[in-house]
Amino acid sequence: MVLLFRLRLLTLLLAALGGIMLHPAAARAQGGEVQTVWRLLDYVAVDYAGAVSGGRVTSTTEYAEMTEFSATIRTGIAALPSNPGRARLIAEAQGLEAAIASKAAPEAVAQKARALASDLLAAYPVPLAPAKAPDPARGAALYAENCASCHGAKGDGHGPQTIGMDPPPIAFTDAERARKRSLFALYQVIDQGLDGTAMQSFAHLPSEDRWALSAYVGGFAFKDTVAGERIWKTDPALRQRFPDLQAFTSMTPEALGRAIGQDKADAVIAYLRANPQALRPPTPASLAVAREKLAQSLAAYRAGDRRGAEQLALSAYLDGFEPLEPVLTARDATLMARIEGAMGEFRTAIGRGEPADVLASKSAVIEGLFTDAETVLSPDAASDASTFIGALTILLREGLEALLIVVAMIAFLRKADRPEVLSYVHGGWIAALIAGGATWAVATYAISISGASRELTEGFGSLFAAVVLVSVGIWMHGKSHAESWQRYIREALGKALSRRSAWFLFGLAFLVVYREAFETILFFAALAAQGRGSVIAAGAATAVAVLAVVAWAMLRYSRSLPIGKFFAYSSVLIAILAVVLAGKGTAALQEAGLIDITPVAHVPRLSMLGIFPSLQPLLLQFLALAILWLGFWYNGRKHAAASAAAE
């Protein structure tokens, strides 16, 4: 069945070798020549078992092909350009030829052929893989359009057009045969077709389509993707066997089975061929962008392009490092803060026009921190415990701010005996969660949220919430005296809450919850990309339970508080949150490059409290404190004057 196709391969190889002998001055390693030798080795590894068994020839025709192919492999390698590894390759080819001549066991011949194929690619690198991970959905569409009529919709070789075909189409569901074929071998058949059969060449398809089709076809015999995903995500040593797409396309299931067991290998192959995107480089590859931009920034600064250096330094953070911030924060918040601060200092040094050597030293510090980050971000560094704690702390940290404000509003309405307005508050935070889910869907399936967009959303959202909370805090403080509260109830509450204030409460609940939901979703999306979905869910569920207990306790004990104390405590809480959000919002706008950074020595970085070692956030926090102090002072004087008049 495959004799004519093999003869065609042999003819192509001999023609290529003849061209080399006729033009010795132009002799060089052409990708086609190396690929042809590689294909012959693949055929020997797979089909020798059909020629020899137990030291005896079982098929004279097949054995003659194996003998001829082994000689062609040796002469083909010998005709390749001089290379330090060529002599060893020739010796391996001679060993393979001798093994076939002596009718060695199929396992031994296959091992020699595979080893020689691997060494060939090491000595004469050629692209045997696609530029990017194949698209299984595209492969399925191509298969239905071009292949299903012969090979069957299920890949079993029983398509509607198979009647009278001789030989019949291959059954891709044949696991025994499929285990011997790499995706590259399938790609070559799709590319060249099979002479003497109905299998035509699909070389007219773009290369990425042929790869997509080979990945889809190669998955018919392997279906246990669930087990494969579990094994892939929990076995670091296994992931090291697939450092790139070339390892993925050249690895046969049989070869992987010899290393980890055939059942596990079949499951892993099923998962990877159905989900090639799982082979994307891990997070350290993203730091290459940060490193590249940082180096370009330093080079631009040395060349006198200060503006370009500033833009490149900002891009190094927003495009190269900021996308990794969620996972790094979950695993090592201290290291994340150090890198964030160091990159901010680098941008500040550019703005100040400091000597290039100073910038170079700061860049070297950042490079060292990047190396530490790569170690922390490595998939092997993650554990169930660290993932659980990361999910728990992220949701607790981000959810607590929103919870305190929403619960304070709910408690306020209960104190005011206005339960009909509670629906506005509940509607606000529920709408925020729905909007957060929509943000996740858009960021995952439609567009990518850039680092700048994320920082701007956080920054402006935080500052707007801080302005609102300052006014709310001063208002609440003014109602902390019982007589002031009663007067307010009589004069304005019913009217205000029946009109604009109800929608104001809706807007405030939406704003504070969406801001936290937006950041939380981005953090969890980054964690989910690392795997361990069940552990992340457990951490999130634990955080939700803790937040529920906090909400219950606040609502439970706020009922028993006298109205004056309730408003006094609530005003202080809201004032603190306003100051925290003022610092966070300013820092986010600094990270987006909208506000300059002026470092302040001896100020700790306490991001949870909104405190950063930079002048701008501190100034805005002091401004918020000053406005709150003036508001509280004015409320005190107003109350004292009212009390004096009453006497």
Of 166, 182, 381, give the one whose Cα is nearest residue 269.
182
Residue at a domain's end among 237, 262, 279: 279
Q: What are phi and psi of 219, to 5 degrees?
A: -95, -5
Of 123, 151, 180, the residue at which a domain comes to its end is 123
Q: Mean pLDDT score of the chain, rounded to an integer?
A: 76
User: What per-residue confidence (pLDDT) applies to 236?
Assistant: 74
pLDDT tens profile 571-609: 777 778 778 878 877 877 776 666 777 777 777 777 667
Asked whether residue 355 falls in the same domain as residue 256, the answer is no
Does any domain span residue 346?
Answer: yes
Task: Give, as one character, the DSSP assignment of residue 52.
Answer: E
In a domain, 5, yes or no: no
- Report how far residue 388's alpha carbon sits from residue 380's, in angstroms, rounded to the nearest whole number: 16
Distance CA 425, CA 509 (A): 6
Residue 6 has pLDDT above 50, yes or no: no
* Residue 538 lies in domain: 384-645
Span 321-341, pLDDT tens digits: 876 776 777 677 788 888 888
Nearest to 475 by CA among 442, 505, 434, 455: 505
DSSP state of 169: P
Given a cut of 80, whether residue 188 has pLDDT beyond it is no
Using alpha carbons, list the distances in angstroms from residue 344 to 134, 291, 529: 39, 15, 27
Lowest-confidence range among 52-66, 287-301, 466-480, 622-636? 466-480
| Same domain membership, residue 503 and residue 399 | yes
Output 606 or 627, whichever has higher pLDDT: 627
Does residue 13 form part of some domain?
Answer: no
Same domain, 369 and 457: no
Whether 2 is covered by a domain: the verdict is: no
What is the band of 246 on the pLDDT scale with cuts at 50, 70, 90?
confident
Q: Would residue 17 count as lying in a domain? A: no
Is the predicted pLDDT of residue 393 greater than 80, yes or no? Answer: no
Clarify whether residues 565 and 476 are in a common domain. Answer: yes
Residue of higher predicted confidence among 596 and 383: 596
Rounded Cα–Cα distance for residues 603 and 615 (Å): 10
620 belongs to a structural domain: yes
Q: Do both 588 and 614 map to the same domain?
A: yes
pLDDT at position 468 is 61
**Does residue 219 belong to any structural domain of this protein?**
yes
Round to whole Å and give the CA distance between 157 and 147. Answer: 10
Asked whether residue 624 is assigned to any structural domain, the reply reads yes
Confidence at residue 280, expressed as pLDDT on a 0 to 100 scale:
62
CA dihedral 317, 320, 322, 327 (to 10 degrees): -140
My answer on whether 432 and 544 are in the same domain is yes
> Which pLDDT score, from 0 to 100, does residue 270 have?
92
State the DSSP H helix or E strand holding residue 57, giving kind and residue range, or none if neither: strand 56-57
Distance CA 575, CA 595 (A): 24
Residues 421 and 533 reside in one and the same domain = yes
* End-of-domain residue from the set 279, 297, 331: 279
Do 444 and 580 belong together in one domain?
yes
HEC assignment per residue over 416-444: CCCHHHHHHHHHHHHHHHHHHHHHHHHHH
**Taking the mean position of all CA atoms in its chain, how far away is CA 637?**
56
Q: Which residue has the tokens 């005296």?
A: 481
Indicate if 467 and 590 belong to the same structural domain.
Answer: yes
pTM for the model: 0.41
Q: How many domains does the chain have?
A: 4
